[in-house]
Chain A
Amino acid sequence: NAGVTQTPKFRVLKTGQSMTLLCAQDMNHEYMYWYRQDPGMGLRLIHYSVGEGTTAKGEVPDGYNVSRLKKQNFLLGLESAAPSQTSVYFCASLDRGSPNEQYFGPGTRLTVT
């Protein structure tokens, strides 16, 4: 079991560029989440999904879009990157049948210049 994996690990974007972050989990979890973490802060929820084909907004959704076309993948898109989106992005998944533990990926460090 690889658990939760994230691609890429690091990325530098120029303002206005677009990119997609990929989260994949091999645990057959129904729920998936995207968080961002700024220096010295806790994680903030961007978007989440309770199942294939469904997504919902979290605490800080502006500037991001998501898609969950396959149960094992949750994509986070930045259509026009801004310096304020410089952050570390974490993906997580959760088993609806045992919802006590969210499993987190290793993170993607994104810098927007």
Chain B
Amino acid sequence: DAKTTQPPSMDCAEGRAANLPCNHSTISGNEYVYWYRQIHSQGPQYIIHGLKNNETNEMASLIITEDRKSSTLILPHATLRDTAVYYCIVRVLTSGGSNYKLTFGKGTLLTVNP
């Protein structure tokens, strides 16, 4: 799986959009970009994933550049409860024999300030 690079920490004001960047310059054509987050002391939580098109769900939006070498997770209206470590993970999604395992880096600690 391709390696990802994220800033170690970011701050965001409550109510503003939080934009979390991720570089994955060695991503392969069949690798997806996944985002998980881990609120203090809890198990990680899935947020969103995408291949090449922008994706949106009830939690966040994922913007992937056209060359797929980087992406941005957007939390449109950050709240204090969004304070967490956010992990960007690149993974092949195939059927038949795949173990679907995730490789976690250190992620980005997002702190939402009142």
Chain A residues near B (Cβ < 8 Å): 4, 31, 33, 35, 40-45, 48, 50, 56, 58-59, 88, 90, 92, 94, 96, 99-107
With A33-B101, A99-B100, A100-B93 given, is the CB distance from A106 to B106 under 8 Å?
no
Q: Which residues of A contact B34 (CB under 8 A)?
A: 100
CA distance A74 to B43 in the complex (A): 17
Q: Does B49 lie within 8 Å of A100, measured CB to CB?
A: yes
Contact residue among A41, A94, A107 (Cβ-Cβ distance under 8 Å from B42): A107
Chain B residues near A (Cβ < 8 Å): 34, 36, 41-46, 49, 87, 93, 98-107
Q: Does A42 lie within 8 Å of B41, measured CB to CB?
A: no
Q: Does B100 lie within 8 Å of A94, measured CB to CB?
A: yes
**Which applies to chain A's interface (DSSP): helix, strand, loop or mixed?**
strand
Known A100-B46, A104-B43, A104-B44; further 7 A-B contacts with Cβ < 8 A = A4-B43, A43-B104, A45-B102, A48-B101, A50-B99, A99-B93, A104-B45
With A31-B100, A45-B101 given, is the CB distance from A106 to B107 under 8 Å?
no
CA distance A6 to B45 in the complex (A): 16
Which A residue's beta carbon lies closest to that of B96?
A96
Q: Does A90 lie within 8 Å of B44, measured CB to CB?
A: yes
